[in-house]
Structure 1
Amino acid sequence: MYKTSKVIIKNNFDSIEPLVEYLNSIGSIVGLNKKERQKISYALEESLQNSISFDFEYGSEEDIEVEITHIASGLKVTISDNGIPKNPFKKIDQSLDDMVKDVSFESLAKVDGDDISALSDFVIHRLLDKYSYINKGKDGRSIEMTIYASNKRIQEESEPELITKEDNFKLIRVPIGGDITGISRLFYKTYGYSYPNDMVYYPDRLVKKIEENSLISKVAISQQNRVIGHIALMQPFDGAKISEWGMAISDPVFRGQGIMSELISKIMSKAKNSSYHGIFSHSVTNHEFTQKICVKYGFSDVALLVGYAGSDVSFKNITNNLTQRESTIISYNALKKESAVELFMPKKHEGMIKKLYNGIGTKAIQKSPNKWAKTAVKTELTDTIISALNIAEIVIKSIASDALELVKYLTKKFSIAKIDIIYLYLDLEDENSLDLIEKLEDMGYLFSGIFPYYHHDNALIFQFINNIKFDYSLIHSYTPLAKELRDYVCAQDNNQIDEG
């Protein structure tokens, strides 16, 4: 069984075609269909074309490393080099939606003559399940592209599952054997394919995450050994010090038997006995149910992510689209308490930041900046497009003089690519963030909140809303702090829907 391979090529165009053909053959081996192989192959070709065309000094000969890895239910391609990103833009006459309707080398070449490389790289994210650009500063950069095989996804069963009246809730357990497929079937039965975290539809991916211990899962089992409920703790990224509780679901046929209450109790108990610094929740805001659960278990609100999820999450066979993108409240429970932290807080938001920290039992103390503080040689950041949600994340790891220009470039790129919301994460312990924050707000970024241990021990979130108007009265906030935070964010947004 194919696992992984690394290929090193030179930065010349003759190297591209053989590598693309090799990737296409690997895609066939790991189970990608023709359309999926075309998508990932085009993404590789386009990325290499742009990199070789624009990101190296003329006449230089440099190595480009391409790693092709078989992952659970799909394929990941990583491109690494030491090129100089110049990020040129070219206006594209055809819409992105039209481009991805019929993805093939022939159709794309026809759109843009014989030179596919002229298509800007922001098209790629529409073709893939995940697309990340990692700027490592002086250590170069890398691009990670992931695609999953649709035939590995749970499919609708031709025969409906028969449930007798005698079947009832029996127990909660760690999933075993066929339970994994049962989890995927339960999500499909309830949501169709509209659930935001598409991992739930791929049993192989669930198994891999459970084996890696990055997903701690509990299932509710019926007397007839059916999976009738599920909940989990999930690491938001590899090596995270925090975990999210979620993927909570129960079979509507068995509701009223206390399944969800039992699942929540079990997973919260598991979290408290874990090594995580804290646990968090994305609480939807079209109702207050999850927010109330968080209050019951000692969570406090720390951020409002406006428009985090799409408006099309619905129960299968029931039309229940929201009138706007779903905003979520991040609620946090500190398992390892910190009495106080010294932070470089922007004066404008110092009061709100202190309130949010106070909610999780930590006193935030303003730290005076050092005007002689050293800055990095080059900014280090990671930007990731989450295609299933049509959002992007920018995580700034270190700030140098080029930080603002990089953020401007990424914001422009994502805006052109019709990404709905951009979330940007800064380090409150980095005094160089203070000057950048003021400039970010001039660009239209809005305060969102804090997020302990999300890439930084003390992360500050800003959000960019890409030409979408929100009605903040539809964002249901349960706690007084959540209401205050919603109103605080609302006051910054000059492009909102007026009430009434």
Structure 2
Amino acid sequence: MQKKEGMEFHIEPGQEWEVDLFRPEDADGVVKLFLSVYGKDYPVRTYIDAELLTRENSTGRVISAVARTPRGDIVGHDALFCSAPYAGIRESGAGAVHANYRGGQGIFTQMVARGAEEGAKRFGVEAVYGEAVCNHVFSQKMTHSLGWISYAMEVDLMPDSAYRKEGSAAGRVASIFDLITYKPKPHKVFIPHVYEDACSFLYSGLDDRREISKAGGSASSDSVTRIQTEYFGFSQVSRTAVWEIGSDFEAVFEAEEKKALDQGAIVLQVWLNLSFQWVDAAVHVLREKGFFLGGILPRWFDHDGLLMQKIMKEPDWESVQIHFDRAKRIRDLVYEDWRRVSV
């Protein structure tokens, strides 16, 4: 692996290519591609370790789509992988295209489309989502062209260091959360009072069916919060999944928040399960702590989730680039709520 980290990865330009699912013999080419595009410090080891990539694809934990030339050169890669609490839906990411094959050839769009379609058909993936970055609009245009729908904005999600090699970001980078449903699951969701108008807009674009009810009431005195936090050191992001909202939510969450801040978190995300009628109480606790709206996360817990977020500095709203009207409206909703809780 050390030898590969210093290699120039030259591929003859102008070759024909086709998009296909990963084969074991593609692994070395994917690793070389990632090292050439992102460098040896790429934070996810799966894509810079040929044996691990092959193993993850063989088990179905990762579903890689590649762009392959007749010579076997790998000029592009994208993957489906689990990052939501519910494993039935997958994130599309870990994308890379060789420098000689960028610029309007459509490789990335075809890889994302093929991966999502095959994931649904062969592996039973029920929905696919992605985080379209806001330091440019190319990925936003790509997901829109594939029929994905925007539901949330993740403020300051990634550090500028993730884009140092391409020089496309001067500060932390926001993203738009886009999703497409392959297997519908109509169900009831409870909407917090403070976000009724925002959620009315967000659910108006859903490619599935929901029974919308008003949140209210309180958890029973003996109910227990079930919560899980993951911290990502590279990006200084903590993500807390609240599977069950109990009467002890405030105390339990305070401990989780302190732990994340002690680890160095700059961005704190909380995912609330909208299947609990008393989600209102958790929203109130979070807003009192400076958390603001991110949007909705369809099928996040199998049932939908609500994204709330807190940034430990003032976000750079001016640098956010958004192309489509729906995502612009989401940005406005997020910004307005950030201002309200920041007063």
TM-score of the aligned structures, taking structure 2 as reference length? 0.89
Q: Among 334, 338, 342, which residue is 1:489 paired with? A: 334
Alpha-carbon shift at residue 454 of structure 1 (Å): 2.0
Q: Does 1:287 align with 2:132?
A: no
Q: Among 311, 318, 332, which residue is 1:465 paired with? A: 311
Q: Against the structure 1 CA distance between its residues 280 and 375, is the aligned structure 2 distance closer, same or farther, given a 3 Å change threshold?
A: farther
Please tell me whether the aligned partners of residues 250 and 259 of structure 1 are also in contact (alpha carbons under 8 angstroms).
Answer: yes
Secondary structure of the corresponding residue to residue 262 of structure 1: helix
Q: Does 1:255 align with 2:102?
A: yes
Q: Against the structure 1 CA distance between its residues 399 and 260, is the aligned structure 2 distance closer, same or farther, given a 3 Å change threshold?
A: closer
Please tell me whether the aligned partners of residues 184 and 201 of structure 1 are also in contact (alpha carbons under 8 angstroms).
Answer: yes
Q: Against the structure 1 CA distance between its residues 195 and 326, is the aligned structure 2 distance closer, same or farther, given a 3 Å change threshold?
A: farther
Q: Hey, what's the Cα distance between the residues in 2 that align with 1:361 and 1:170?
A: 33
Q: Among 17, 28, 32, which residue is 1:185 paired with? A: 32
Partner of 2:18: 171
Counterparts of 1:291-440 in structure 2, within 5 Å, are: 291-314=140-163, 316=165, 320=167, 322-338=169-185, 341-362=187-208, 364-368=210-214, 371=217, 374=220, 376-440=222-286
Q: Hey, what's the Cα distance between the residues in 2 that align with 1:187 and 1:202?
A: 10
Partner of 2:323: 478
Q: Hey, what's the Cα distance between the residues in 2 that align with 1:258 and 1:364?
A: 35
Instruction: For structure 1, list consecutive stretches of 5 or more residues without a partner in the other structure.
Output: 1-151
**CA displacement, residues 434-472 of structure 1 (integer Å, 9 cap, x when unaligned):** 112112101101111111222351111111112x11121
Please tell me whether the aligned partners of residues 20 and 114 of structure 2 are also in contact (alpha carbons under 8 angstroms).
Answer: no
Alpha-carbon shift at residue 487 of structure 1 (Å): 1.2
Give the root-mean-square deviation of aligned CA atoms. 2.7
Alpha-carbon shift at residue 264 of structure 1 (Å): 3.4
Q: Against the structure 1 CA distance between its residues 178 and 391, is the aligned structure 2 distance closer, same or farther, given a 3 Å change threshold?
A: same
Q: Hey, what's the Cα distance between the residues in 2 that align with 1:205 and 1:377?
A: 41
Please tell me whether the aligned partners of residues 312 and 321 of structure 1 are also in contact (alpha carbons under 8 angstroms).
Answer: no
Secondary structure of the corresponding residue to residue 312 of structure 1: helix
Alpha-carbon shift at residue 187 of structure 1 (Å): 1.0
Q: Among 50, 74, 78, which residue is 1:227 paired with? A: 74
Q: Paired residues, what number?
A: 340
Secondary structure of the corresponding residue to residue 401 of structure 1: coil
Please tell me whether the aligned partners of residues 219 and 227 of structure 1 are also in contact (alpha carbons under 8 angstroms).
Answer: yes
**CA displacement, residues 160-185 of structure 1 (integer Å, 9 cap, x when unaligned):** 345456x6133333332331121111
Please tell me whether the aligned partners of residues 421 and 463 of structure 1 are also in contact (alpha carbons under 8 angstroms).
Answer: yes
Q: Against the structure 1 CA distance between its residues 371 and 407, is the aligned structure 2 distance closer, same or farther, given a 3 Å change threshold?
A: closer
Alpha-carbon shift at residue 251 of structure 1 (Å): 0.9
Partner of 1:9: none
Identity %: 21
Q: Hey, what's the Cα distance between the residues in 2 that align with 1:175 and 1:217?
A: 5
Alpha-carbon shift at residue 263 of structure 1 (Å): 2.3
Amino acid at match of 2:300: Y
- Max radius of gyration: which structure? 1
Partner of 2:127: 278
Q: Against the structure 1 CA distance between its residues 153 and 406, is the aligned structure 2 distance closer, same or farther, given a 3 Å change threshold?
A: farther
Instruction: For structure 2, list consecutive stretches of 5 or more residues without a partner in the other structure.
Output: none
Q: Against the structure 1 CA distance between its residues 262 and 435, is the aligned structure 2 distance closer, same or farther, given a 3 Å change threshold?
A: closer
